[in-house]
Structure 1
């Protein structure tokens, strides 16, 4: 089998704030932006890598989600426990220095016991964004 990861889902609570984080701060390109208001589905990804994307989507757009589930999702997003992603860079300390004054820091660059050096931030929706050094 030849399987790759094409698109991952992350919820957003405000599409403009998400664009400011992923496009303006991280430098991702916008590949698609559909819908309006808070009901926007925005696809972003690293420039020059069209095979990998992040779909930023409203978490409560599914008509099959109950009101109780909507509340649970909102609570989890507020605590930062609903969505997360791991990104990779060549120099995590340099990236941390560039981002630390512009994003909510969760963890400064740390050598982990499992063999990677990484740091962590929260995006505007509360998603955990871990950044590992390749």
Structure 2
């Protein structure tokens, strides 16, 4: 009686080959984050009668590492930081055993449905959460025009 092949073993081998190729291409081992990878910042945008409020999660970023820009009807948020970690062995003169540096950046652009009063835009950052208040530009409401 012939032995049956395990169909899942071929799939597992394929996945292992793909992981090895990915590791070779990126210099990263499976499960590690890619250094210098630009990340996506999640945003909540809420509309009120006279303003929009955007709330963005930026954990680990200081406000000095974040920029907010409003041009035309677009809100742009960018953050960039470098993080350095060192481990030292106690009892010896300073001898670096491991040093890891990480560069992280996030960017996000949102199109806003109305014109914004760019002079009135405010931003506040607290505990890694950025809140941007975008007042609507007072646009003259439509008026009826008499025909002569």
Larger radius of gyration, structure 1 or 2?
A: 2
- Larger relative strand fraction: 2
Could you tell me the TM-score, scaled by structure 1's length?
0.29
Give 1 or 2: higher helix fraction: 1
